[in-house]
């Protein structure tokens, strides 16, 4: 029997790991030939490995998952990965083999694998018109994060961006704080800032970014400098002179 092969195309490293680990648990005979983070890498993996299955994120940088699906139409079975249920359902109805939602659910992945196994011997679906069919319902790609996954011991926690109270630089890492706990991320504060909506997150110090909606009280010290207290946190965070102009309307 020929060993089934797959490529995982997902731009969030922690989600890629979650997919890989879930597949290893539920379908150990599946060989994952490559894990890629954008559309161009996905096309390169298609040409290099010719996998039987593509786990394909709908929204990726470079080329979107829908654009990639057009290119690999008829050459591989496609499982769309998405955080948006209505888009996934529409994609499925237009001919995609199946879809899985973020965060990854073990029961849902198990169902996907069962469906996939039943159809592996059939020719892959024609997805040449998938982007055209879905262009009215799939929103333009946002460069800002809506949610992320963070390591917590042996687990992965899913955190909505709105839950974040603040982020603090920790050498090459970033500490992400919520009212319910703190997490260490393998990314610099500068890298995280580029992925956050500046209308929602303000840098108040070279090492601190805060969620504006989490600010509870603004204090002025006897030296005239500002400090902020966030909801659910007891500590005061300093506002540097460079960033104090953001609080003019709050004074």
Domain boundaries, the chain: 5-134, 147-250
pLDDT of amino acid 76: 93
The alpha-helical segments, DSSP class H, found in 27-103 are 39-49, 65-71, 85-93
**Looking at the DSSP assignment, which residues form a beta bridge with residue 239?**
226
SS3 168: strand
Write the CA distances from 8 to 21, 52, 92, 170, integer angstroms: 12, 12, 18, 31
Residue 248 burial (10 A CB sphere; 0-12, 13-18, 19+) = exposed
pLDDT of amino acid 33: 96
Per-10-residue mean pLDDT of the chain, 251 residues long, equals 90 89 96 92 92 90 80 89 69 66 88 92 82 57 73 78 92 89 89 89 95 91 86 90 79 52
Structure tokens that stand for 237 in this block? 């965070």
* b/e 218-247 (16+ beta carbons within 10 angstroms → b): eeeeeeeebebbbeebeeebebeeebeeeb
CB within 8 Å of 247: residues ≥ 6 apart = 218, 226, 239
Structure tokens that stand for 83 in this block? 């955080």
pLDDT of amino acid 172: 85
pLDDT of amino acid 23: 96
Residue with tokens 């169902």: 111
Do 164 and 177 touch, CB atoms closer than 8 A? yes
pLDDT of amino acid 180: 83
pLDDT of amino acid 165: 94
pLDDT of amino acid 59: 80
pLDDT of amino acid 102: 82
CATH for the stretch 5-134: 3.40.50.2300
pLDDT of amino acid 144: 78
**Looking at the DSSP assignment, which residues form a beta bridge with residue 32?**
6
At CA 225, angle to CA 220 and CA 230, rounded to 5? 60
Structure tokens that stand for 199 in this block? 């209308």
Q: Do you find a cis peptide bond into 232, omega within 30 degrees of 0?
A: no
Same fold for the domain at 5-134 and the one at 147-250? no
Prediction pTM value: 0.57
DSSP 51: -
Give domain 147-250's CATH architecture: Beta Barrel (2.40)
Do 38 and 65 touch, CB atoms closer than 8 A? no
């Amino acid at each position: 029997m020929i060993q089934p092969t797959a490529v995982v195309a997902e731009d969030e490293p922690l989600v890629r790991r979650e997919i890989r680990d879930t597949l290893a648990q539920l379908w150990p005979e599946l060989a994952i030939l490559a894990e890629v983070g954008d559309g161009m890498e996905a096309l390169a993996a298609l040409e290099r490995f010719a996998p039987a299955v593509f786990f394909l994120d709908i929204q990726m940088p470079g080329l979107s998952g829908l654009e990639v699906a057009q290119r690999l139409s008829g050459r591989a079975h496609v499982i769309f990965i998405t955080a948006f249920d209505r888009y996934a359902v529409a994609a499925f109805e237009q001919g995609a083999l199946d879809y899985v939602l973020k965060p990854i659910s073990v029961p849902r992945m198990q169902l996907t694998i069962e469906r996939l196994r039943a159809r592996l011997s059939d020719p892959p679906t024609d997805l040449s018109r998938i982007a055209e069919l879905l262009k009215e319902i799939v929103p333009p790609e946002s460069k800002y994060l809506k949610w992320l996954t963070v390591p917590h011991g042996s687990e992965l926690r899913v955190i909505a961006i709105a839950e974040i109270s603040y982020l603090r630089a920790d050498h090459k890492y970033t500490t992400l704080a919520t009212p319910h706990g703190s997490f260490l991320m393998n990314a610099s504060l500068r890298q995280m800032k580029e992925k956050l909506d500046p209308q929602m997150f303000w840098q108040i110090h070279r090492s601190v970014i805060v969620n504006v909606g989490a600010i509870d009280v603004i204090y002025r010290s006897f030296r005239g400098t500002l400090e902020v207290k966030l909801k659910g946190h007891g500590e005061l965070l300093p506002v540097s002179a460079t960033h104090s102009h953001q609080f003019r309307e709050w004074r």
